[in-house]
């Protein structure tokens, strides 16, 4: 833990006494927080007066605090359990080697903000992630996420990803996942760029999300891929090619077929089955057009 050395002078029985006090940065941070002040903690690997690791600063931080990270490469897996802002100053690279299919950063506190960070993950596995979000109201601003199978995996709602860049993601830049107990809606992806990824954005059983002003280039599968998803409200001004249209249409047909199958499973009448099939032919033809 980084420390501050304080020289204090006092007068005792008419004689001056000089004493040395060593105070930890963590102690100062806790005292400030107890007095009701949101504080700024500085992480700098090259300055002994600051925290030397992000994890060290996390230990002393409380909800509402800001952690400013100075230039450098930080190979720490970050587990964010407090409502803090994590802001990079200069060239800040977070590039740990996670466990297999793990993450570089896990966000599990509501209201976290990540800004100005360069993030990758050297861990093994087809589904290793740069950032995994399981809490609501996360804001990721002006970050670069690259050279990792999955850039950001979102398992929650009401998050914003803005002005971010994704490249060399072997699976997808962003995936929105609404599976099981995880509701994934009202997420906003705005002004982001996706370059040389397999998929730009994958939306898996998630609904009511917004994608705006995003650009795609060098995508070799789908720019925006929908899997069992409905009502992605806005894809305005996205610079997309025919792969987007093909993916959306294929997903619409798939959802239609699944709906037919569900109704067939609940029907015991053969005549009713044929009636359902005949009624379904018109919408399928409409989709093809």
pTM score of the predicted model: 0.73
Measured distance CA(155)–CA(55) in Å, rounded:
24
Least confident range from 14-23, 66-75, 175-184: namely 14-23
End-to-end CA separation in angstroms for the chain: 66
Measured distance CA(223)–CA(202) in Å, rounded:
8
Q: In terms of C-beta density within 10 A (0-12 exposed, 13-18 middle, 19 or more buried), how is residue 253 classed?
A: middle
Matching residue, tokens 């500085």? 42
Taking residues 96-106, report their average pLDDT.
96
pLDDT tens for residues 220-242?
888 998 887 655 545 555 554 43
Taking residues 29-51, report their average pLDDT.
73
Is the confidence at residue 198, as pLDDT, over 50? Answer: yes
pLDDT-derived band of residue 8, with 50, 70 and 90 as boundaries?
very low
Q: How far, CA to CA in Å, does 26 sit from each of 47, 52, 72, 175?
A: 15, 12, 21, 37
Structural contact between residues 154 and 128, judged by C-beta atoms closer than 8 angstroms = no
Matching residue, tokens 């830049």? 173
pLDDT tens for residues 244-267?
444 454 555 555 555 655 665 665
Is the confidence at residue 66, as pLDDT, over 50? Answer: yes
Distant-in-sequence, close-in-space partners of 16: CB < 8 Å, separation ≥ 6: 9, 10
Most confident of 19-33, 126-140, 179-193: 126-140
Measured distance CA(272)–CA(32) in Å, rounded:
71
């Amino acid at each position: 833990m980084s420390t501050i050395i304080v020289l204090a002078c006092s007068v005792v029985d008419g004689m001056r006494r000089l004493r040395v006090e060593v105070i930890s940065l963590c102690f100062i941070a806790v005292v400030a927080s107890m007095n009701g002040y949101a504080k700024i903690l500085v992480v700098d690997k090259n300055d002994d007066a600051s925290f030397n690791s992000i994890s060290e600063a996390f230990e002393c931080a409380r909800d509402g605090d800001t952690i400013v990270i100075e230039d450098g490469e930080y190979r720490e897996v970050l587990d964010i359990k407090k409502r803090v802002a994590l802001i990079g100053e200069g060239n800040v690279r977070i590039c740990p080697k996670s466990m297999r299919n793990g993450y570089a950063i896990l966000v599990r506190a509501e209201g976290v903000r990540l800004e100005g960070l360069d993030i990758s993950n050297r861990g093994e596995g087809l589904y290793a992630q740069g950032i995994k979000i399981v809490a609501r109201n996360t804001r990721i601003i002006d970050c670069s996420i690259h050279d990792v199978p999955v850039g950001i995996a979102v398992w929650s709602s009401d998050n914003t990803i803005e002005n971010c860049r994704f490249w060399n993601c072997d699976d997808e830049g962003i995936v929105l996942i609404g599976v099981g107990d995880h509701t994934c809606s009202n997420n906003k992806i705005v002004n982001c760029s996706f370059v040389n990824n397999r998929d730009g954005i994958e939306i898996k059983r998630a609904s009511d999300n917004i994608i705006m002003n995003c650009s795609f280039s060098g995508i070799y599968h789908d720019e925006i891929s929908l899997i069992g998803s409905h009502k992605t409200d806005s894809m305005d001004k996205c610079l997309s090619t025919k792969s987007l249209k093909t993916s959306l249409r294929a997903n619409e047909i798939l959802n239609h077929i699944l709906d037919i199958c569900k109704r067939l499973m609940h029907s015991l009448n053969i005549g009713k089955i044929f009636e359902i099939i005949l009624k379904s032919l018109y919408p399928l033809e409409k989709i093809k057009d």
